Structure 1
Amino acid sequence: MAFTRRRLLHGGALIAAAPAIKVLTGASSIQAAHAQAAPAGLKWRHGLSLFGEVKYPEGFKHFDYVNPDAPKGGLVRQIAIGTFDNFNPVVSGVKGSIASEVRLVYEALTAPSLDEVSTEYGALAESVAYPDDFSFVVYRLRAEAKWHDGKPVTPDDVIFSLNVLKKHHPFYGAYYRHITKVEKTGERDVTFTFDAPGNRELPQIVGQLMVLPKHWWEGTDDAGRKRDISATTLEPPLGSGPYRIKRFDAARSVTLERVKDYWGRDLNFSIGHNNFDELRYEYFRDGTVALEAFKGDQVDWRTENSAKNWATAYDFPAVKDGRVILEEFPNRNAGVMQAFALNIRRDKFRDPRVRRALNFAFNFEEMNKQLFYGQYKRINSYFEGTELASSGLPEGRELEILETVRAEVPAEVFTTPYSNPVGGNPKAVRNNLREGMKLFKEAGFEVRNHKLVDGKTGAPFELELLSEAPSTERIMLFYKPSLERMGITVSVRTVDSTQYENRMRSWDFDVVGNLWIESLSPGNEQREFWGSQAADMPGSRNVVGIKNPAVDKLIERVIFAKDRADLVAATKALDRVLLWNHYVVPQFTYPFHRTARWDRFGRPEKMPKYGLSAFPTLWWHDAGKAAGKRS
């Protein structure tokens, strides 16, 4: 399920024929739902979980991790890096630079629980039903769900949203491609039919659908111009969510205001959330400038991604006297693969020996010492930091799954535990470079006049390391000399975010730094990350360009896992095969979310297990702190 997240002709007729239907119901709708005549065999439930039972009982008032009495009010100023020229999320994958804050204007059919794995409760939807074979799903909208203009959210809005996202957005086109039919099947009911049974994740994926107002997008703006959902726009959009755009300065800042009469404010999925009256996002082109703005109290909160900054940049008076709080929150909600991604659409990377050789040139240990103050650890899995990460040799259920693709995967999958080369001292570095050169030679390359060239054509082996940020650039600059010692001609190029995004969309790169966030219950998004169909799709997240039948088969095993144990085994098998194909040069990770804040905010006493800092969603403005801590 991405981190990023399933035929019905006449309402109850086909539902009655389904043996075991599960229904999700929000607390405000339970009595109404029970008062409705339920078709024979229908079992009402109030939550969706990929495997097992939900934590919260029917009729729960709010999540355990919120403060239901959190005060409302105040302003919080946050940092956004880059720029924006678009408020239309439908085309964010192919046109313009989206202001990511627009996500708070819209809502999905369901909302996630932050202290459960792969579990969701109703938001725009009041209930959901699906059969045991997961061949279709029915969502019932809440009667009280309203757009900010007071009009109700309707099945037509849901259908419209799915269709335009599939048509115009590459990621959603892939993510929702298993939905073959969507139709209105009741006054507030929408039915989604899938291309095949057995995919247990699809009902929840449908629940994550961002719902857009059909009447607004098909209408005209204040100037009388017809809106075009296939184009970028800076017209503040109509939404149904807890916030709306109050004002903006293109490419510089966006301010959202809390919708005081928000329809969902007293429902269980919303209580204790969205406590600030205003959310302001200040855009910075440069992280260093953003840091200085934080130090100068121009913004309130900062997430720190630089180990160097964390170690050296917060020694200023406001930290010493307690006006600024530094805090790390454990990352329990996701795994990660951060790596140098190699574009295997290009011939130079076709041979896995070449790709492995590039890993031998990466001296992580010395980089960690010189650049990161020893804070990081090397990544050894595509699901690093979770129980899904493979290790040792395959056994049990994982081995059984791998046997089904034995002839299609590297032999080392079965014989050798995966590990990255270890550097850190001159002898180890020399040995690693020697092993790398050996692999290049086996792949048909040789050194001539101190340059690595193709042994047949004499063409030099050249690499461009493409970056969009100084923080990535310095990692690439550290990597560059080791590559050059192998005779590789290397250039490091840093471009602005717009140019970078355009080059990524057209796959115009050799090597980039990339990050894949993995949920604790991987599923259909794996096709988007590593599946053959996504490899040539502009804007997809298959950055590497993987087209591997064995990988495709293992992805399907993950998606169609029967239980949690089967999912874990299938994911480990997928992980192992990805590692031994050497598609990337793994980088490093840190198991905590580093944050710095001006001490003028309150937060729940019990924080959610899988919510990181949950800022600003669960926090609130503390007037007492704000008054007492100012300089």
Structure 2
Amino acid sequence: MTMPFLRHAPMALLLALLPVTAPAQEPKPGTIVSHGIAVFGTPELPADYPHLRYVNPDAPKGGEISEWGIGGFDSYNPFTHRGRATALSVIMLERLMEDPADERGSSYCLLCETIEYPESRDWVIFHLRPEAKFSDGTPLTAHDVLFSFELLRDKGLSSYRTGIAKMVAKAEVIDEHTIKFIFQPGYPRRDVIQQVGSQIVFSREDFRKNKRDIEQSSNIPFLGSGPYVFDSAEMGRSLSVRRNPDYWGKDLPINKGRHNFDKIRVEYFSDYDAAFEAFKAGVYTFRNETSSIHWATRYDFPALKSGAVKQEVLPNGDLATGQSWIFNLRRETWQDIRVRQAIGLMFNFEWSNETLFYGLNTRVNSFWDNSELAATGKPSPEELALLEPLAKDLPEGVLTEDAVVQPVSGKTQLDRKNLRAASALLDQAGWKPGPDGMRVNQKGQRLKLEILNDNQSFDRIINPFVQNLRALGVDAVNARVDDAEMTNRTRGHDFDMITDNFAQLGFYVGGGTEQVFGSENVGDVFNPMGLANPAIDALIEKGIEAKTQVEMDAIVHALDRSLRALRFWVPQWYKADYTLAYYDIYAHPEKLPPYLLGELDFWWYDADKAEKLKQSGALR
């Protein structure tokens, strides 16, 4: 399962107790003791690795990096749907294991020293580092790990609870620094260890002392064991964390060259333009530019011309986010695939890219875009073997036609060819033009579409889309709402269409895929469209059971082409590069890892450059 705080699996009820094995200080014959684990094969780094391959182990410590956020926040707890948690809510919390940004499917010990497991992977024992401690100096023990597991299992978000019930039968403390997880009989073993290894660890004593309720929003930051601690905040407007000089794990190989800034700060703004103007004025110092029009036309301010601000384009090898407009399939109108396809035909990406995006964007076509996992052409024999038993639950053409790609439009905003195709689809679906040209069904009800939007920068993109839809006879509106209403209506499934993304999908089908596309999670916020399809469920189950990379690739291709054929989205765009602007006081390794920009992780502060900018008055 993929969440901002738990990389892999979901969690729920404790089932029957299984037998306890002997303490792990004496590994049983036939068990594996390791510093890490991989989904397929073995992790690439040896047990005595000096540091991660992409960091500068000699990076200096110091300085501040500051970024921006949109809207605001009213909570420090992202483990509940209540409230809006700040971006740095969990930066102080650590996991049992951590994934490097240059390997797929590998995890290495962080809070643990080693893991121990049998070849069957029926269970795993985590041997914790005895030196691990929380930032208040109290030791981090196996009791804290068990407390965190049970807390999230019983009170975490619903999709997490659901998934963990399938996976974990029991967790038990063996001694202060040893904890064992026993997996459910029959549950696929491929990455169960990584999934429990991705668990975040809370302080049991902090929860007791502060009477925390994980199901409620909170105005008290978490106490964690990580390299950063809470520094200060102005609720809703700004937040900063500071590096803990007494961080217990600062000398671990997995942390060398990382966590280099003394302070990380996030400033929040009501809208995109206000944030951009604040950057120009030096209110914050690092900007990952997402607006093509800003990048193409507005980077001409004095600090850039003087060299105080630097622009840089860096390759992004990670999966595209799958940014798109998403239909709410819970509403009857959008359950007709012909209606959804007709709506999708009216977004003219080519015109938008040339006119609005200055040619900087690439159309999203796949849920695994920017990787070889995207389905192409007709299904392979391996894919057909997976798809044929599921044909009755899939749209026509999935088994015989090329993978769905988005329609190509002409150079004018309203593409007449696509308009005619969309009109024919709506006619077939029973939505005919009324006297005023707007589409109505046999009951006389209008075909209405409200595109929920809390970002004024999106107005210039949504409004032409709305104009095209109205030309089709769809009573479409760009419904501007504030961030609080957007949050409430999205969580309450009170929308026709929203902008969302599928960034939590990874390179392997697993708990995260199930969380986003699985029928069991149709009521959860992580399945925004409310998708419930037996064929998709079956492919996800196959993916969770996959035992080789070749098998996994075929399953992802089959799943991708099936999801695309269901047309519950109108794909938008992505950039294959990071477009960055920052005050010239930062440095990064010459070669970045493929799956992470890492500016808050392994970039560092150049004190000499910063001093020169301060002396010149270019930096606050």
Aligned match for 1:406, one of 356, 371, 391: 391
1:367-391 CA distances to partner (integer Å, 9 max, x unpaired)? 1111101211211111111111001
Aligned-partner residue type, residue 626 of structure 1? A
Match of 1:163 in 2: 150
Aligned-partner residue type, residue 545 of structure 2? F
Match of 2:474 in 1: 488
Post-superposition shift, 1:72?
Answer: 1.3
1:20-60 CA distances to partner (integer Å, 9 max, x unpaired)? xxxxxxxxxxxxxxxx4321112322211111221211111
After superposition, the Cα gap between the structure-2 partners of 1:162 and 1:427, relative to the gap in structure 1 and judged at 3 Å, is closer
Aligned match for 2:492, one of 485, 496, 506: 506
Report the 3-state secondary structure (helix = DSSP H, G, I; strand = E; otherwise coil) of the residue aligned with 2:89: helix
Give structure 1 stretches of 5+ with no counterpart: 16-35, 221-225
Identify which range, 512-521 or 126-135, moves more after superposition. 126-135
Asked if residue 192 in structure 1 is aligned to residue 181 in structure 2, the reply is: yes
Match of 2:408 in 1: 422
Q: How does 1:99-248 map to 2 (within 5 A)?
A: 99-166=86-153, 167-178=155-166, 179-195=168-184, 196-220=186-210, 226-248=211-233
Match of 2:461 in 1: 475
Q: Judge conservation of contact 1:174–1:528 (CA < 8 Å) in 2.
A: no
After superposition, the Cα gap between the structure-2 partners of 1:279 and 1:426, relative to the gap in structure 1 and judged at 3 Å, is closer
Q: Could you tell me how far apart the structure 1 residues matched to 2:539 and 2:212 are? A: 43
Report the 3-state secondary structure (helix = DSSP H, G, I; strand = E; otherwise coil) of the residue aligned with 1:412: coil
Q: Could you tell me how far apart the structure 2 residues matched to 1:617 and 1:455 are? A: 54
Q: Judge conservation of contact 2:438–2:470 (CA < 8 Å) in 1.
A: no
Post-superposition shift, 1:341?
Answer: 0.2
RMSD, matched Cα: 2.0
Post-superposition shift, 1:480?
Answer: 0.1
After superposition, the Cα gap between the structure-2 partners of 1:106 and 1:248, relative to the gap in structure 1 and judged at 3 Å, is same
Post-superposition shift, 1:428?
Answer: 8.2
Aligned match for 2:42, one of 29, 36, 53: 53
Paired residues, what number? 600
Match of 2:14 in 1: none
Q: Judge conservation of contact 1:49–1:120 (CA < 8 Å) in 2.
A: yes
Identify which range, 501-510 or 127-136, moves more after superposition. 127-136
Report the 3-state secondary structure (helix = DSSP H, G, I; strand = E; otherwise coil) of the residue aligned with 1:336: coil
Post-superposition shift, 1:247?
Answer: 1.3
After superposition, the Cα gap between the structure-2 partners of 1:445 and 1:467, relative to the gap in structure 1 and judged at 3 Å, is same
Post-superposition shift, 1:185?
Answer: 2.8
Q: Judge conservation of contact 1:333–1:519 (CA < 8 Å) in 2.
A: no
Q: Could you tell me how far apart the structure 1 residues matched to 2:235 and 2:40 are? A: 44
After superposition, the Cα gap between the structure-2 partners of 1:474 and 1:191, relative to the gap in structure 1 and judged at 3 Å, is farther
Q: How does 1:11-410 map to 2 (within 5 A)?
A: 11-12=21-22, 36-91=25-80, 94-166=81-153, 167-178=155-166, 179-195=168-184, 196-220=186-210, 226-410=211-395
Identify which range, 520-529 or 570-579, moves more after superposition. 520-529
Report the 3-state secondary structure (helix = DSSP H, G, I; strand = E; otherwise coil) of the residue aligned with 2:554: helix
Aligned-partner residue type, residue 2 of structure 1? T
Post-superposition shift, 1:8?
Answer: 6.0
Q: Could you tell me how far apart the structure 2 residues matched to 1:412 and 1:606 are? A: 43
Q: Could you tell me how far apart the structure 2 residues matched to 1:427 and 1:119 are? A: 46
After superposition, the Cα gap between the structure-2 partners of 1:605 and 1:434, relative to the gap in structure 1 and judged at 3 Å, is closer
Q: Could you tell me how far apart the structure 1 residues matched to 2:540 and 2:84 are? A: 31
Aligned-partner residue type, residue 189 of structure 1? T
Aligned match for 1:553, one of 534, 538, 562: 538
Aligned-partner residue type, residue 76 of structure 1? I
Q: Judge conservation of contact 2:388–2:399 (CA < 8 Å) in 1.
A: no
Q: Could you tell me how far apart the structure 2 residues matched to 1:427 and 1:319 are? A: 34
Q: Judge conservation of contact 2:508–2:543 (CA < 8 Å) in 1.
A: no
Aligned-partner residue type, residue 80 of structure 1? G
Give the TM-score, by structure 1 length: 0.91
Match of 1:23 in 2: none
Q: Judge conservation of contact 2:143–2:176 (CA < 8 Å) in 1.
A: no
Q: Judge conservation of contact 2:328–2:495 (CA < 8 Å) in 1.
A: yes
Q: Judge conservation of contact 2:586–2:603 (CA < 8 Å) in 1.
A: yes
Aligned-partner residue type, residue 117 of structure 1? R
Report the 3-state secondary structure (helix = DSSP H, G, I; strand = E; otherwise coil) of the residue aligned with 1:193: strand
After superposition, the Cα gap between the structure-2 partners of 1:39 and 1:168, relative to the gap in structure 1 and judged at 3 Å, is closer
Q: Could you tell me how far apart the structure 2 residues matched to 1:131 and 1:308 are? A: 55
Match of 1:619 in 2: 603
After superposition, the Cα gap between the structure-2 partners of 1:45 and 1:237, relative to the gap in structure 1 and judged at 3 Å, is closer
After superposition, the Cα gap between the structure-2 partners of 1:546 and 1:272, relative to the gap in structure 1 and judged at 3 Å, is same
Aligned-partner residue type, residue 216 of structure 1? D
Q: Judge conservation of contact 2:128–2:177 (CA < 8 Å) in 1.
A: yes
Report the 3-state secondary structure (helix = DSSP H, G, I; strand = E; otherwise coil) of the residue aligned with 2:254: coil
